[in-house]
Structure 1
Amino acid sequence: MIQETTFGGWNHCLELNNGHIRLIATTEVGPRILFSGAPGGPNLFKEIPEQAGQSKPRRAHPQSRDWLPWGGHRLWVAPEGDHCYDADNLPLQVETLGPDAVRLTAPAEPAHGWQRGLEIHLIPGQPRARIIHRLTALRTLATPCALWTLSIMDAGGTAHVPQPPLGEHPRDLLPNRNLILWPYVSLQDPRLSLGHERWEIRQDPARSALKIGLLHRLGHVDYLNKGWRFTTHFPPVENTPYPDMGVNCEIFTNPEILEVESLSPLLTPREGETATHAIEWSIAPL
């Protein structure tokens, strides 16, 4: 079921609720999915009350600080650059695709040569949703890029990145995993735990920024918080290049949030083509 609603300072929102999972997206800016959780349960996404309902005039330069995260889930285009921080604060086009599905499309961004949007599809009878991210090329893009999804999770939780079973030597002679580090990361950071069965990244309000990436062939990450497990599913595409030194999964955290991020393979869409990147969310009580 889809219905119009208000949420967290936003006057124009859509609520999708199948009785098992509830999502709320604003139609005023973004796209942004601002709420994800069970009906009657807590919001597993980060809310930023001081930014609620704010949409400033659009300017071209990111240092104007017009871009606001607003919490929730968004679509960016990788690799990261100034284009990520161009304000996305104009109303969206809304298309209803079915009783539990909607498409939200932002205005075209001619300066970058693309138009962003996403579709929300609730899975009937399950605590599960499919999010299809869309990037339409306004012209043939000059350099490869990737669709990059970022879910801002609320503080206080821990991300679990499952790992494949340990191999044996000398049977297993080739590598099967990678770990990409950003320049400000130390492997001695106490928030990181690189275990046999899973890697854990803990959100800590007393610590500064941390970010890791990996080519995650198991294709799902759990975030445990508020008595719930929020799982992001993103099956990898084998034998294709990915951005950021070859990763399809990134985890970022700072004193306020933890972000679960997925990336599509690198692509160069031609004028008029729409590239997509689909993920799924599921929730379960702990």
Structure 2
Amino acid sequence: MEWRKVSFGKREVCYEVTLNNLKMIVTADVGPRILFFGFKNGENVLFHDVEEKLSIGEMKFYGGHRFWISPESKDTYNPDNSPCKVEEEKDKISFISFDPITQMEKKLSILEKNGNFIVRHILTNKGKTLYPGAIWALTCIPPKKGIIFFPWGTRGDWQLKKITYWQKWGGSSSTNIKSSQFVPEEDLFLIYPSGEEGKVGTAGYEGFVGVTTDNYTFIKKFNYMEGALYPDDNCAIEVYTSPNFCELETLSPMYTLIPNAEVMHDEEWILLPYKVDPKNGYEVRKILR
């Protein structure tokens, strides 16, 4: 894995990280944010708000991949528009930000495993009091493109399937549970993004969420912790759809962080140059072995 300093869009201080035929661009100007992910000479798998117009108050979305803390609260939207500290080590590069309101430090590290990028999220309580929360890893992808898929059942012989619909949040946002974009297939739950706003989640026992298009298949793989308590009615996987972008979200269990305590959540980013049939769960799971 190698990296070099570059500019990207409106962001002057970024790092282009390459691994085999993969490329990632992370900005240190703000965030941290991963603004690009794809093949070296390919398209951006992520949605990037090039003009940086999307915002809630002073908090800008920027697009790409971001690091939040769940459950969602007013502190979720604290602006993170300040530069990040960059740590360069032999086997990884890290981007560190600090929220003076919550006294929480976020460290986003990029490293390598099995020929893929590992996106590591480390949350540290720098305050003097307890802080409850979970790591929330959100990846923006282009809207109305491809088919989103994730497992929604338990493992083993005793099968249960669960989907949580966000019926109302943020004052005016809601999900139409009868929307045709949500398709509960026998194996994987599928979403055909239509531009509607909505959000769903599930327990996520198998630990993956992805999207497949005519040109590529992108999967985020993580370690689900059996018996742990997750946010939002025990959801480790969440997917948001909207006219501007969709989000593939994974979460860590809930923690109560004592001062100076840290917790970690890893995602393995898998990218293949072809489309898979998400109705065929076996084909998807072969990728993950």
In structure 1, what is the Cα distance between the partners aligned to 2:234 and 2:152? 17
Equivalence for 1:71: 63
Equivalence for 2:227: 239
Q: CA deviation at 1:50?
A: 1.6
Q: Percent identity?
A: 26
In structure 2, what is the Cα distance between the partners aligned to 1:31 and 1:166? 35
Q: What is the number of equivalent residue pairs in this alignment?
A: 266
In structure 2, what is the Cα distance between the partners aligned to 1:151 and 1:166? 26
Per the normalisation by structure 1, the TM-score is 0.87
Equivalence for 1:59: none
Matched, 1:94 2:86: yes
In structure 2, what is the Cα distance between the partners aligned to 1:243 and 1:210? 18
The unaligned stretches of length 5 or more in structure 2 are 168-173, 275-289
The answer on whether the counterparts of 1:140 and 1:269 sit within 8 Å (CA) in structure 2 is no
C-alpha distance 42-191 of structure 1, shift in aligned 2 (>3 A): same
The answer on whether the counterparts of 1:16 and 1:122 sit within 8 Å (CA) in structure 2 is no
Equivalence for 1:194: 184
**After superposition, what is the alpha-carbon deviation per residue over 1:196-241, rounded to whole angstroms, capped at 9, x for unaligned?**
1211112223x2x110011011111121135110100012001111
Equivalence for 2:285: none
Matched, 1:114 2:98: no
Q: CA deviation at 1:256?
A: 1.6
Matched, 1:159 2:148: yes
Equivalence for 1:45: 46
Q: CA deviation at 1:164?
A: 5.1
Equivalence for 1:82: 74
Q: CA deviation at 1:81?
A: 1.0
Per the normalisation by structure 2, the TM-score is 0.86
The answer on whether the counterparts of 1:163 and 1:196 sit within 8 Å (CA) in structure 2 is no
C-alpha distance 141-230 of structure 1, shift in aligned 2 (>3 A): farther
In structure 2, what is the Cα distance between the partners aligned to 1:133 and 1:176? 30
Equivalence for 1:123: 113
C-alpha distance 166-118 of structure 1, shift in aligned 2 (>3 A): closer
In structure 1, what is the Cα distance between the partners aligned to 2:189 and 2:79? 34
In structure 1, what is the Cα distance between the partners aligned to 2:37 and 2:8? 12
Equivalence for 2:7: 6
The unaligned stretches of length 5 or more in structure 1 are 55-61
Matched, 1:176 2:166: no
